[in-house]
Structure 1
Amino acid sequence: MANDSSSSKPSGTANLVAQYSQYADLANEYEPDVAAGLMKKALERQGVQQSRTEVEAWAAINSAIVTKPVDLAQEVAQANAKADAVAQGLIGTQPATAAAP
């Protein structure tokens, strides 16, 4: 049986975490520019074209998510509550229709 080393590599969300961790380690050990260049190259090898600026933006977003209390679910809940309030306001302010003669 062939040794499939790819089966031991993380996938999905675990791969996202692993790749970001590797990126952060490279950025700390060398410099962010090196990490961005290597990530850009790794993406290109998979057919994903991203600029260095886009890679740096990805890293900045991930850094914020792991270092700050970013809560997307809370934003969704607040947006839904606001939308519900607007809808209720519109429903409550509709003019009454006249009864048919």
Structure 2
Amino acid sequence: MRLSPSANASLRVLGRFALRLGCITILSIIYYGPQGGTWRPFSHLAFLTAICCVFAAAVTREPRFAGRLTNRDEAAAYAIIGLVARAASLG
């Protein structure tokens, strides 16, 4: 079964997302800070990754509303994950 080019591109973005999220999780576990546990560094790294994805989307001039997943979509997901982790570190 062959996938369309946009489906292949979206699968690559999902794989990259999973890899980066795994790295963020591992780094957060390694740095277990006294304040906020692992959630605070996790939220900081998620926000930093979101900023890097926005920068990568701007450099590669990705379209805003493409028919596939892009760095912009990835940045939005990291920002939401960062906000959830930030809320978890406050509670």
Fold-level match, TM-score > 0.5?
A: no
TM-score calculated relative to the size of structure 1: 0.27
